[in-house]
C-alpha cells in the first residue's frame, strides 16, 4: 500500500490447521528514526519469527495468522494508514474476524527497576522488571486469563496481567500499540509487553541496541506463546 511516497506492506503468514476463526499473533516491524529499535520492536519481531519456526515444525490444531505490521510508530499511529488498522479493515471486509489477537510490543528488556502509570503505582505490581505483561480490555478478559495461564507454563517466566475499562481510554498508555486497532473493532485482543518506557530507559533512543536485550527472557516468551496457543486450542 502507498504511504508518503513509498510502498509499505504488512507481512502475513499462516500456520496451524482447522477452519475456525484464526488467532492473530502480530508485531510491528517499524521503529523511529535515529534508533536501531532493538527492543522497540525488533525483540517482538524476533519472537514472532521464532514462534513461526516452532509452529511450522509442529502445527497447532487451530489456524494462526502471523502478522508483521507496518506503520505503528508516529505519525501513522492511530490513523487509517496504521498497518494494523489496514489489517483489521481488510479482515472485516473479507467477512472474517479473529478468535483473538496477541500483539507483541517490546518483549526483550528486563531491569532491576520497574515503573507504572500513576493509578497502578499502588496496585501491588512488582518493583522488579523481570516479568512479561499481558494487557487486555474488558471484552478480552477471558483471552487475557488464557494467555497468562499459557505463558506461566514457561519455566522462569513471571507473568502479570491488567484489564482496563473503556478500551484503555481511561489509561491511554495502555493503548499505545497495535492491539488497540483490534479493540476499536470490537475484537478481543491483548498486548504482550515488557511495559516499554515504564521499564526500558532506551525507548526511542539511539541506545536501544541489541546489547541491551535479554535473550533468555525472549526465549521464555516464545515457549510461553506456544503454551498459550495450546491453551486457546484447549490442549491445556
What is the pLDDT, as a whole number, of residue 175?
97
**What is the C-alpha to C-alpha distance for residues 44 and 193, in angstroms, rounded to an integer?**
9
What is the pLDDT, as a whole number, of residue 45?
98
Residues in the chain, total:
236
Banded pLDDT at 236 (limits 50, 70, 90): low
Catalogue the E-assigned strands of 56-131.
Answer: 64-69, 100-105
| Global pTM value | 0.96
When pLDDT is averaged across residues 151-162 and rounded to a whole number, the result is 98
When pLDDT is averaged across residues 201-230 and rounded to a whole number, the result is 98
In tens, the pLDDT along 23-72 reads: 999 999 999 999 999 999 999 999 999 999 999 999 999 999 999 999 99
pLDDT higher than threshold 80 for residue 91 = yes
Helical (H) or strand (E) element with 190 = strand 189-193
What is the pLDDT, as a whole number, of residue 50?
98
**What is the C-alpha to C-alpha distance for residues 189 and 210, in angstroms, rounded to an integer?**
28
Provide the CA 87 distance to its chain's centre, in angstroms. Answer: 15
* Phi/psi at 163 (5° precision): -115, 125
When pLDDT is averaged across residues 99-105 and rounded to a whole number, the result is 98
Banded pLDDT at 1 (limits 50, 70, 90): confident
- Residue of 84, 91, 38, 12 whose CA lies nearest to 206: 38
Strand 189-193, strand 132-137: pairing = antiparallel
pLDDT higher than threshold 80 for residue 2 = no
**What is the C-alpha to C-alpha distance for residues 56 and 75, in angstroms, rounded to an integer?**
35
**What is the C-alpha to C-alpha distance for residues 146 and 68, in angstroms, rounded to an integer?**
23
When pLDDT is averaged across residues 120-129 and rounded to a whole number, the result is 96
pLDDT higher than threshold 70 for residue 235 = no
What is the pLDDT, as a whole number, of residue 6?
76
- Residue of 224, 178, 233 whose CA lies nearest to 54: 224
- SS3 at position 77: coil
In tens, the pLDDT along 160-206 reads: 999 999 999 999 999 999 999 999 999 999 999 999 999 999 999 99
Q: Count the alpha carbons within 13 Å of 111 in the hemisphere toward its beta carbon.
A: 17
- Give the angle subtended at the CA of 173 by the CAs of 87 and 22, to the nearest 5°: 30
Amino acid at each position: 500500500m502507498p504511504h508518503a511516497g513509498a510502498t509499505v506492506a504488512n507481512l502475513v503468514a499462516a500456520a496451524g490447521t482447522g477452519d475456525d476463526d484464526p488467532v492473530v499473533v502480530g508485531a510491528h516491524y517499524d521503529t523511529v528514526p535515529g534508533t536501531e529499535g532493538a527492543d522497540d520492536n525488533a525483540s517482538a519481531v524476533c519472537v514472532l519469527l521464532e514462534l513461526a519456526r516452532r509452529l511450522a515444525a509442529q502445527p497447532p490444531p487451530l489456524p494462526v495468522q502471523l502478522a508483521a505490521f507496518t506503520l505503528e510508530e508516529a505519525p501513522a499511529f492511530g490513523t487509517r494508514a496504521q498497518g494494523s488498522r489496514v489489517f483489521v479493515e481488510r479482515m472485516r471486509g473479507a467477512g472474517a474476524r479473529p478468535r483473538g489477537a496477541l500483539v507483541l510490543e517490546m518483549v526483550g528488556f528486563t531491569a532491576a527497576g520497574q515503573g507504572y502509570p500513576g493509578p497502578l503505582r499502588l496496585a501491588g505490581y512488582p518493583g522488579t522488571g523481570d516479568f512479561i505483561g499481558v494487557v487486555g480490555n474488558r471484552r478480552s478478559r477471558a483471552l487475557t486469563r488464557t494467555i497468562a495461564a499459557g505463558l506461566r507454563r514457561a519455566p522462569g517466566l513471571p507473568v502479570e496481567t491488567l484489564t482496563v475499562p473503556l478500551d484503555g481510554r481511561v489509561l491511554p498508555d495502555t493503548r499505545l500499540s497495535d492491539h488497540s486497532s483490534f479493540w476499536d473493532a470490537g475484537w478481543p485482543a491483548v498486548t504482550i509487553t515488557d511495559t516499554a518506557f515504564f521499564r526500558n530507559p532506551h525507548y526511542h533512543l539511539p541506545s536501544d541496541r541489541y546489547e541491551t536485550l535479554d535473550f533468555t527472557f525472549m526465549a521464555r516468551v516464545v515457549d510461553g506463546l506456544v503454551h498459550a496457543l495450546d491453551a486457546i486450542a484447549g490442549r491445556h
